[in-house]
Amino acid sequence: MAEQLGAYNHHRAEQLGAYNHHRLVYITHYRAEQLGAYNHHRAEQLGAYNHHSAPRLLQAIARDNIIPFLNFFAVGSKSGEPTRALLLTAAISEIGILIANLDSVAPIITINGNECPVAEESVFVTVIYKPENTSITASKRMACVNDSVTLACASTAKPAADRYIYYRGDSLIHNGTSKTHTITLSAHGTHEYACVASNTAGTGDNSSVVITVQGEVLLKT
């Protein structure tokens, strides 16, 4: 008898466990569906409330003359609906939608009054200027009679300098395209040499260098 009661109780316990599990799953699923539907319904209610509450708030502010220039929105329909405020809200909403879709508005903005695309053209400007910062150097600043000295003229220009003129004092000694010129010192003393560079844009300033030439030393016997 005890064994029969034990088997019966065990069987009932299994039945009750299965029943409770089934009820729990059913109730949980049902409540989840109810909560989902409730939340969706509340979201729709809140959206509708916000859509209508903003115009009504604007109308109330206008009617109370809190902000004088909003008096225009105090007028509503015969039923009290804030018609003008609703129109303003709708306009603001449409502007927001347009701003959010600038990609679709951009082609309209970029078309001129003739409904034709605006042509674009690239222009490259080349700036030229005559030689500047001209300088002259000498391979020797101290030399002897009959020594050879190379003069070199340099400058900044665009286009590059293509003609160089060298002077010894006021006398022209070279006029050509080479920026260097070699001279033979024939007289002792102090001599000034100058160069002037030029290009198609004009002639630059001159630059000079002084070379001291020593005479021959005579040895007495």
Q: How far is CA 115 from the centre of its chain?
A: 29
148: number of Cβ within 10 Å: 11
Whether the pLDDT of residue 179 is over 90: the answer is yes
Indicate whether 136 and 201 sit together in one domain: yes
The answer to pTM > 0.85 is no
Indicate whether 93 and 135 sit together in one domain: no
Residue 76 maps to a domain: yes
Q: Which residue range(s) make up the domain with 153? A: 129-214
Q: What is the CATH number of the domain that holds 203?
A: 2.60.40.10
In this prediction, residue 53 has a pLDDT band, given cuts at 50, 70 and 90, of: confident
In this prediction, residue 202 carries a pLDDT of 94
For the chain, the domain total comes to 2
Closest among 148, 201, 156, 202 to 179, alpha carbons compared: 156
pLDDT tens-digit map of 85-141: 778 778 887 787 777 776 665 666 555 555 666 778 888 888 999 999 999 999 999
Indicate whether 92 and 169 sit together in one domain: no
In this prediction, residue 61 carries a pLDDT of 77
Residue 135 maps to a domain: yes
Residue 148 maps to a domain: yes
Residue 179 maps to a domain: yes
Indicate whether 143 and 194 sit together in one domain: yes
Residue 40 maps to a domain: no
In this prediction, residue 43 has a pLDDT band, given cuts at 50, 70 and 90, of: very low
Residue 219 maps to a domain: no
Mean pLDDT of the chain: 76
